[in-house]
Structure 1
Amino acid sequence: MADRQFREPGRVRLVRHRTPRLEMGHPWVFRSEIETTDGTAQPGDVVEVADHRGRYLGRGFWNPDSQITVRLLTREDRPVDAPFIHERVRAAWQHRIWLAARGFLGPRTDPPSLARVVNAEADGLPAVIADRFGDIVVVQALARGAERLLPAVLDALEATLQPRGIFARNDAPVRAREGLPLAKGWLRGTGSLRPVVDDGPLQVEVDGEGGQKTGYFLDQAANRRAIAPLCPGARVLDAFCYTGGFALHAAYHDAAEVTGIDSSSEAIELATTNAERNSLSDRIRFRAGNAFDELRALHRAGQIYDLVILDPPSFARSRAALPGAIRGYKEINLRALGIIRPGGFLVTSSCSYHLSAEDFRQILVEAAWDARRSLRLLDERGQSPDHPVLLAAPETRYLKCLFLQVL
């Protein structure tokens, strides 16, 4: 198993005329950039990558069936083996400890019990996700090579974090595009899949088995904390509220009245439980509903809010879906602008990495024009620091979150 897991049976040589993205720090090689392949590489194997002259550029895992044909693991001339994987996982966790100690992950400075531990390419382990929820870790392997390396990743997570259990959420649709089965289940140990963890000042219950992503939107943690100055005395609407993250923080920070809406009745049930757990039920009302329809109905009814929060799921899971996504983002922001008082606030997000920050801003400009409103930018934010970004790889900065004042 170990030999198969780490063997290097092939070498990829790149074409002469190409943008030197790889040399500049991007971790992907696309199919169109490959000139020749030597050896007997199978999908998921680690291969060497060389330029057109044969100069060594690095090692990565290979999948000829994917547009992203090689995902680079290292630029050093070193084997990709169990010690390599352990080193990467330890370094990723040490980075989170460093972030927490310096206040980047919130006011608490001890090692985080709620955090993304491994964030794929940005931590040098492409397509590998590991999230810590108290004493369990939820993992995803989103490419063939990541699946091949998963046993070593599990060993490293056990050695580094000593969790009670490691659960796989390998049910993401992207796995099917990699030719991998969709599955979920315990890989090591066991534990509660409804852990209660600290999200800043709040205690929240997480659905590790059935919830979105790995169970909670960890990437919005810093943005949830950042709404605090907008909340005292406010009437707040949290559309696409999921299990209540933004809504709970708004109520905790002295909002007068908070309404949360989500299409999932299961998410609404958990949001209600989380409000009760934090003694916030007197100021929060959650209800199941289609956010598009609810925003239209609130506008027709003449409802007015001091703060509206929009955190929808990804509307563009592929580049082909982008035109429809643009229409969707414009629609919800247009409707939101119609129910915010002059001088009130809109916190709006997009997690679609196919939609650029520039395009998202343009959508908001056009929505404001149609609503006959003006927008003042207070802050332009991204994902929380435990979801690091590679500057040379814009795809790793997928979350856009704008804090706007509506004039």
Structure 2
Amino acid sequence: MTSPSYPIVRLRPNANARAIRHGFPWVYANELVLDRRSKSLAPGSLAVLEDADRTPMGLVTVNPNSKIICRMLDRDPEEEINAAWFGARLQRALAHRARLYGDTQAHRLVHAEADGMPGVVIDRFNDVFVIQPNAAWADTHFDALVAAIEAASPNPTIVKNGTGRARKLEGLEETLEVARGDVAGPVGVEMNGATYFADVLEGQKTGLFFDQRENHAFAARLAVNARVLDVFSHVGGFGLAALANGAAGVLSVDSSEPALELAQRGAAAMGLAPSFTTRRGDAFKVMEALAEEGETFDVVICDPPAFAPSKDALERGLRAYERVARMATALVRPGGYLGLCSCSHAAELSKFRNASARGIGRAGRRGQIIHTGFAGPDHPQMPQLAESGYLKAVFFRLDG
């Protein structure tokens, strides 16, 4: 077989070639020689990356419109990116998830760089696969990826969810389509003994946050016979897990009525609807109202959106996390539990933990950290890429 012929892009002499050789998967625009030829490459093009001494380093995808101008695809500079290439990576990802979850087919199947597909996220909801192609190369090779999924799973439904901030950073247009099969409505899945319904077309991101699976399970251990408040609940993440594990009652708070309706549907599917209530509104206003009403709970969980999506937003985001902690603390009964989450990669653990502790202190309470959680093992991290370790969940037991 003839090896494919790829153009060559080259690192500047001051680029950190050693880090790339040791596994760092990105090349930033200021590290690459940007001559007329490299600038003319179409977004999503494949190229051989060379160091400043013209030694090949691997096969990369190039996007001149992105600050991350190159993403490493394969250490073999002559590799061909086709359905077989995708299939090998899918099989490796499938084997890992099968070891984790057995026959349960509701999980993050591909977690971008950590699973060898830079910028590509695939969430699996039984026979429904939701793909987020967040890098230009994934758009240009989308058909090959679909073919690999079809080879691995009979009669799949495949959704292309090309929406969100990541695509904007790549200079890509938003798109949303059912690429294969049909989606008749929300998809039901089981997780931690609870039933969830995900809107894979109109819901937030792919429709369900599998990354919180392990943190849901820990919170559920605290919830036996407890009254639980789940703030920023989406489709019932923490609340439904608590309900399935014997919570006496759950109140879920979210600004999205469709999300709360799906949460109620999950509670009904478990036969536990009488113990599950919802309250729609701005989370801060609802927490303020609950405090004014004198409401308290044994367990309070807050899983807000990313308040610090970038370094520029870090200080503002930390103030928001502190505010969440302060307001939520007022709703926790003496000796109760408070779980606080952040999905902002810019707010690393110590900064988030300190902001949370300040909020608890400002509420006039003291607490002990009993558990720190992260994304589950179906969301593997690249040790060279700090951005892949975005999720933190810190659980406190509060004093009187």
Shorter chain as denominator, the TM-score bin is over 0.9
Alignment pair present for 1:23 and 2:24: no
Q: 1:193 to 1:24 in 2, by over 3 A?
A: farther
Q: Which moved more, 1:256-265 or 1:178-187?
A: 178-187
Name the counterpart of 2:198.
206
Q: Which moved more, 1:112-121 or 1:193-202?
A: 193-202
Unaligned 5+ segments in structure 2 are: none
Q: Secondary structure at the match of 1:80?
A: coil
Alignment pair present for 1:240 and 2:232: yes
Name the counterpart of 2:90.
89
Q: Is the CA contact 1:7–1:45 (under 8 Å) kept in the aligned structure 2? A: no
Q: Which amino acid counterpart does residue 157 of structure 1 have in structure 2?
A: I
Q: Secondary structure at the match of 2:229?
A: strand
Q: Is the CA contact 2:43–2:136 (under 8 Å) kept in the aligned structure 1? A: yes
Alignment pair present for 1:53 and 2:60: no
Moved over 6 A (4+): none
Unaligned 5+ segments in structure 1 are: 1-5, 101-108
Deviation of residue 199 (structure 1)? 1.7
Q: Aligned match of 2:221 in 214, 224, 229?
A: 229
Name the counterpart of 1:313.
305
Alignment of 1:6-405 (within 5 A): 8-16=6-14, 18=16, 20-36=18-34, 41-82=41-82, 83-100=84-101, 109-110=102-103, 112-405=104-397
* Percentage of identical aligned residues: 33
Q: Is the CA contact 1:136–1:163 (under 8 Å) kept in the aligned structure 2? A: no
TM-score normalized with structure 1 length: 0.92
Q: Which moved more, 1:378-387 or 1:162-171?
A: 162-171
How many residue pairs align between the two structures?
A: 394
Q: Which amino acid counterpart does residue 78 of structure 1 have in structure 2?
A: E
Deviation of residue 314 (structure 1)? 1.4
Q: Which amino acid counterpart does residue 63 of structure 1 have in structure 2?
A: N
TM-score normalized with structure 2 length: 0.93
Q: Is the CA contact 1:241–1:261 (under 8 Å) kept in the aligned structure 2? A: yes
Q: Secondary structure at the match of 1:196?
A: strand
Question: Hey, what's the Cα distance between the residues in 1 that align with 2:209 and 2:6?
Answer: 36
Deviation track 1:174-231 (CA, whole Å, cap 9, x = no partner) reads 2133222211111122243422121231222211111111111111112112222201
Q: Is the CA contact 2:226–2:298 (under 8 Å) kept in the aligned structure 1? A: yes
Deviation of residue 19 (structure 1)? 7.4
Deviation of residue 88 (structure 1)? 1.3
Q: Is the CA contact 1:8–1:46 (under 8 Å) kept in the aligned structure 2? A: yes
Deviation of residue 17 (structure 1)? 5.3
Q: 1:215 to 1:329 in 2, by over 3 A?
A: same
Q: Secondary structure at the match of 1:282?
A: helix
Q: 1:332 to 1:59 in 2, by over 3 A?
A: same
Q: CA RMSD in A?
A: 1.9
Question: Hey, what's the Cα distance between the residues in 2 that align with 1:181 and 1:21?
Answer: 31
Deviation of residue 7 (structure 1)? 6.4
Question: Hey, what's the Cα distance between the residues in 2 that align with 1:144 and 1:17?
Answer: 23
Q: Which amino acid counterpart does residue 9 of structure 2 have in structure 1?
A: R
Deviation of residue 309 (structure 1)? 0.4
Question: Hey, what's the Cα distance between the residues in 2 that align with 1:183 and 1:42?
Answer: 19
Question: Hey, what's the Cα distance between the residues in 2 that align with 1:396 and 1:213?
Answer: 17
Q: Is the CA contact 2:231–2:254 (under 8 Å) kept in the aligned structure 1? A: yes
Q: Which amino acid counterpart does residue 66 of structure 1 have in structure 2?
A: S
Q: Which amino acid counterpart does residue 59 of structure 2 have in structure 1?
A: R
Q: 1:357 to 1:95 in 2, by over 3 A?
A: same
